[in-house]
Amino acid sequence: MKCAECNGNLEKITGDFKSKSKSLGNITVPEISYMICNNCGDILLDPEMAQKVTTFKKKSELELIMKLPVGEFLAVTEAIEILGITKQAFSKNNKIRRNFIYNIKMGKKKLYHKKSVELFKSKGDGRFLLSKQQNQSNKVEFKAQYDLNDFSSLLQRSSFVGLYHIEAYSEEANYA
Q: Which residues bind other proteins (CB under 8 A)?
A: 1-2, 4-7, 19-22, 34-35, 42-47, 50-51, 53-55, 57-58, 94, 97-100
CA distance 140 to 146: 16
Q: How far is the CB of 7 from other proteins (least distance, A)?
A: 6
Going from the C-alpha of 120 to that of each of 44, 98, 158, the distances in angstroms are 32, 12, 26
Q: How far is the CB of 73 from other proteins (least distance, A)?
A: 19
Closer of 147 and 172 to other proteins (Cβ): 172
Closer of 11 and 46 to other proteins (Cβ): 46
Q: How far is the CB of 3 from other proteins (least distance, A)?
A: 9
DSSP string over 72-105 = GEEEHHHHHHHHT--HHHHHH-HHHHTTSS-EEE
CA distance 157 to 70: 8
Closer of 112 and 154 to other proteins (Cβ): 112
Closer of 40 and 155 to other proteins (Cβ): 40
**Is 115 in contact with 82 (CB distance < 8 Å)?**
no
Give phi and psi for 78, each to the nearest 5: -70, -40
Q: How far is the CB of 49 from other proteins (least distance, A)?
A: 9
